[in-house]
């Protein structure tokens, strides 16, 4: 049978990235005890009060079809949240409720990219980005972010990669895997470039609530001059430890939302009302569990870094945000992939090789801060021990 080109564009894309994790899972199934630092899945429980709302609303009959844009409650909650954040009125018609940031990314790129259009991508980048760009027929154009500048991208490097086919920039702040949070000046400089070349900015803000120390989260959407060209994608997956709820959204101009609504309706025919109610409740209320989760990520990052203290060939810097630490192993002379494989085989610690996130991640390991401090400290000890043996 003959298949559409999209199946070829996506064929095999990304599966090799998870090879170390998959081997770790196989070993675990054979009875080995391992420390898993490979997947960005929050280990915290969903706040009880949110679970109660989902349960209550489901039992109250909120199980019918939802409208394609999202239920009025969640759209109002998003409108309030973004109006407060931006300091201007962001109306309910500027949102589309979608099942997670991943779907929001898909809808965003299907709405702005034609075959052969180029998308600028700070490198290292999140593992599914190549796939969503390729699905829409776009060409990912990685722009290397220097690890020695804390993976802070230079606008000048971005400018060098702009061609007549460039249509969009995909930003992710706080970044996965880098932990980098773009400053207000960086966003302004990058934004000016996007205005000059009339580019869309797709802003993946799934880690927006997770920033550490004095770091301040800044979004291009909050700048009135960038609002019309910015498409925010986000969710409650990380902010409230609710990835399985698949509750996410697009925030953009009303025109953009109206234009892509038929696209999301074609894929989804609406979402689940009881989950939309739970997400609205999550966004409208404050939860001590959520505060505690953020504190624990910060403490775990500090524990990892202090555990690596004194090592001659491995080091890590405190992430500005997100839930990952990049461990720099370049001085060992191994690639991230080689180091991660040996770390699994010799020390029973499962990490992601930096190369899984693009060339820019080479010579690094991405460590997910999703196990308790004791296990993080133990993992740091084992990373250091392997580095000393090399």
**Residues binding ligand PLP (CB under 6 A):** 40, 100-102, 126, 172, 176, 204, 206, 235, 237, 243, 248
- Of 355, 380, 376, 377, nearest to 365 by C-alpha is 355
Closest approach of ligand PLP to the CB of residue 112, in Å:
17
Which is nearer to ligand PLP, 131 or 243 (by Cβ)? 243
Residue 35 near residue 371 (C-beta atoms within 8 A): yes
Which is nearer to ligand PLP, 100 or 220 (by Cβ)? 100
Closest approach of ligand PLP to the CB of residue 73, in Å:
19
Q: Which residues contact 345 (CB under 8 A, 6 or more apart)?
A: none
The per-residue DSSP string of 100-114 comes to: HHHHHHHHHHHHH--
Asked if the bond preceding 124 is cis, omega within 30° of 0, the reply is yes
Closest approach of ligand PLP to the CB of residue 172, in Å:
5
Which is nearer to ligand PLP, 297 or 307 (by Cβ)? 297
Closest approach of ligand PLP to the CB of residue 312, in Å:
31
Closest approach of ligand PLP to the CB of residue 100, in Å:
3
- Residue 15: Cβ within 10 Å count: 9
C-alpha 7, offset from chain centre? 24
Residue 205 to residues 114, 211, 365: CA-CA distances in angstroms? Answer: 24, 12, 22
- Residue 105: Cβ within 10 Å count: 27
Which is nearer to ligand PLP, 66 or 332 (by Cβ)? 66
Which is nearer to ligand PLP, 162 or 236 (by Cβ)? 236
Closest approach of ligand PLP to the CB of residue 246, in Å:
7
Closest approach of ligand PLP to the CB of residue 135, in Å:
15
On the CB side of 32, CA atoms within 13 Å amount to 17
- Residue 6: Cβ within 10 Å count: 12
Which is nearer to ligand PLP, 40 or 353 (by Cβ)? 40
The per-residue DSSP string of 356-373 comes to: GG-GGGTTEEEEE--S-H
Distance CA 164, CA 242 (A): 40
DSSP-derived pairing of the beta strands 248-251 and 230-235:
antiparallel
Tokens 């559409």 found at? 4
User: Residue with CB nearest ligand PLP?
Assistant: 100
In angstroms, what is the C-alpha Rg of the chain?
A: 21
Which is nearer to ligand PLP, 41 or 258 (by Cβ)? 41
Which is nearer to ligand PLP, 231 or 348 (by Cβ)? 231
Which is nearer to ligand PLP, 300 or 330 (by Cβ)? 300
Closest approach of ligand PLP to the CB of residue 45, in Å:
17
Enter the tokens of residue 315.
């080091």
Which is nearer to ligand PLP, 204 or 347 (by Cβ)? 204
Closest approach of ligand PLP to the CB of residue 134, in Å:
16
Residue 195 near residue 225 (C-beta atoms within 8 A): yes
- Of 46, 37, 58, 88, nearest to 236 by C-alpha is 46
Enter the tokens of residue 204.
């993946």
Closest approach of ligand PLP to the CB of residue 164, in Å:
29
Residue 54 near residue 273 (C-beta atoms within 8 A): no
């Amino acid at each position: 049978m003959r298949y559409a080109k999209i199946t070829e564009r996506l064929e095999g894309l990304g599966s090799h990235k998870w090879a170390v994790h998959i081997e770790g899972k196989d070993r675990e199934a054979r009875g080995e005890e391992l420390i898993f630092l490979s997947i960005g899945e929050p280990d915290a429980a969903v706040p009880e009060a949110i679970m109660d709302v989902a349960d209550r609303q489901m039992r109250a009959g909120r199980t019918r079809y939802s409208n394609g844009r999202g239920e009025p409650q969640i759209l109002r909650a998003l409108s309030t949240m973004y109006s407060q954040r931006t300091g201007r009125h962001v109306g309910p018609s500027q949102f589309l409720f979608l099942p997670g940031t991943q779907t929001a990314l898909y809808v965003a790129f299907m709405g702005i990219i034609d075959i052969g259009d180029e998308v600028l991508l700070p490198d290292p980048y999140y593992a599914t980005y190549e796939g969503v760009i390729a699905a829409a027929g776009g060409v990912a154009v990685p722009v290397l972010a220097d690890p020695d500048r804390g993976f802070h991208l230079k606008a000048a490097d971005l400018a060098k990669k702009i061609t007549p086919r460039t249509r969009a920039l995909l930003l992710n702040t706080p970044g996965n895997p880098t932990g980098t949070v773009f400053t207000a000046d960086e966003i302004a400089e990058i934004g000016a470039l996007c205005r000059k070349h009339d580019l869309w900015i797709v802003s993946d803000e799934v880690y927006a609530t997770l920033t550490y120390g004095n770091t301040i989260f800044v979004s291009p959407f909050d700048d009135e001059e960038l609002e019309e060209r910015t498409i925010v994608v986000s969710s409650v997956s990380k902010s409230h430890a609710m990835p399985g709820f698949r509750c996410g959204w697009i925030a953009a101009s009303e025109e953009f939302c109206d234009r892509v609504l038929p696209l999301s309706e074609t894929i989804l025919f609406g979402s689940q009302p009881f989950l939309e109610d739970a997400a609205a409740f999550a966004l409208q209320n404050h939860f001590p569990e959520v505060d505690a989760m953020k504190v624990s990520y910060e403490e775990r990052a500090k524990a990892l870094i202090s555990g690596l203290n004194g090592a001659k060939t491995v080091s890590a810097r405190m992430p500005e945000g997100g839930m990952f630490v990049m461990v720099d192993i370049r001085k060992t002379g191994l690639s991230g992939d080689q180091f991660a494989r040996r770390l699994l085989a010799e020390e029973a610690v499962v990490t992601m090789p930096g190369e899984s996130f693009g060339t820019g991640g080479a010579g690094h390991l991405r460590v997910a801060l999703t196990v308790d401090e004791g296990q993080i400290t133990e993992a740091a000890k084992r990373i250091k021990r392997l580095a000393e043996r090399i």
